[in-house]
Amino acid sequence: MVFEEMSELQKELCKALRGNKVTGNIAEEIADVEIMLEQMKLLFGIESLVRANKIYKLERLDERLED
């Protein structure tokens, strides 16, 4: 199911690249993907690990942007 939702988001983003930007559709698909990702975190019991990785990567990105 997660792959299906990501595919639908990819389809909407590709449409946007071609000039058919429908932000409502993009927002809906992002919401669906986020819901599926939350379910995956719960299913695998990795909420804290994902949070730690996200913090690390955001801090690294911030450092790169400052340079």
pLDDT(17) > 90: yes
Q: In the 3-class helix/strand/coil scheme, how is the chain assigned residue by residue?
A: CHHHHHHHHHHHHHHHHCCCCCHHHHHHHHHHHHHHHHHHHHHHCCHHHHHHHHHHHHHHHHHHHHC
pTM, entire model: 0.83
**Which domain covers residue 6, as residue numbers?**
2-66
Would you place residue 20 in the very low, low, confident or very high pLDDT band (cuts 50, 70, 90)? confident
pLDDT tens column, 28-38: 999 999 999 99
Per the structure, the count of domains in the chain is 1
**Average pLDDT in the 44-61 region?**
98
